[in-house]
Amino acid sequence: MTFIITKMKILQLVILCLSGKVVFGRENGAPSDPKACDHMVPGHLDPVPIPSKDLSRTPYEVKAEIDGSYVRLSVSGLVSVAGFLIQARQTSNSPAIGEFKLESQSNNSIARYQTCGKEFPQFSSITHTNSNSKPNLTFLWRPIANRAKNINVTFYATLAQSHEIFWVKQPSNEINILDINGTPGRPLIPFWTLSSLVVAFMIHSL
């Protein structure tokens, strides 16, 4: 009788561990859930939801730089990244916008597009493909709507050091859409207009 009970307990423990792997393990990226895409919280359980760490103590830096018609986003830090979910937004609570470019072999090995639902542009969210340590991350992003509008974009990254340690919606520096080269409607001063202004200024200074 004791042997049967012991076997049942072992079986229950195995089932619990396997189910925990499915629920808790995010080895292939963030869940394909519109709510998860919206609030960008991993939903890690142990067995209750694990809270995010304080952003003021994050070991990571999220930096955005204009690179031609794209924005180059980089994530670096004192420790490696195990998992991530990254989006570009106007504010922390607004929808994701634009699209990421995952064409290089190095990017495809660590990142994939996240399926978020109809409310999100098709390539507006990226997440990890494995839980291996990643010393740094670099991705390209571009606007696909509101390209001629004077709006600022901030990249928000949920970064996981491990299952228990993660930071939600860490922001980058702001980028203005009109500062990106190749953007239709970018206000440029024609050369002849600029020359006329210089001549007028010189005459006025005499």
pLDDT of residue 145: 76
pLDDT of residue 25: 38
Residue type, position 96, single letter:
A
Q: Which residue ranges in the chain fall short of pLDDT 50?
A: 1-5, 8-25, 184-194
Q: What span, in angstroms and rounded, lies between the C-alpha atoms of 24 and 18?
A: 10
pLDDT of residue 30: 65
The answer to whether the pTM exceeds 0.75 is: no
Those residues whose C-beta lies under 8 Å from the C-beta of residue 177, and which sit 6 or more positions away, are: 143, 146, 147, 148, 149, 150, 151, 152, 153, 183
pLDDT of residue 36: 81
169 phi, psi to nearest 5 deg: 55, 50
Question: DSSP 3-state assignment of 64?
Answer: strand
Query: Domain residues of the chain, as ranges?
Result: 25-51+58-177
pLDDT of residue 11: 43
If residue 6 lies in a helix (H) or strand (E), which one and from where to where?
A: helix 2-24
Q: What span, in angstroms and rounded, lies between the C-alpha atoms of 76 and 59?
A: 8
pLDDT in tens, 89-143: 999 999 999 999 997 766 778 999 998 888 888 899 999 999 999 999 999 999 9
- What number does CATH give the domain 25-51+58-177? 2.60.40.4060
Q: What span, in angstroms and rounded, lies between the C-alpha atoms of 176 and 90?
A: 10
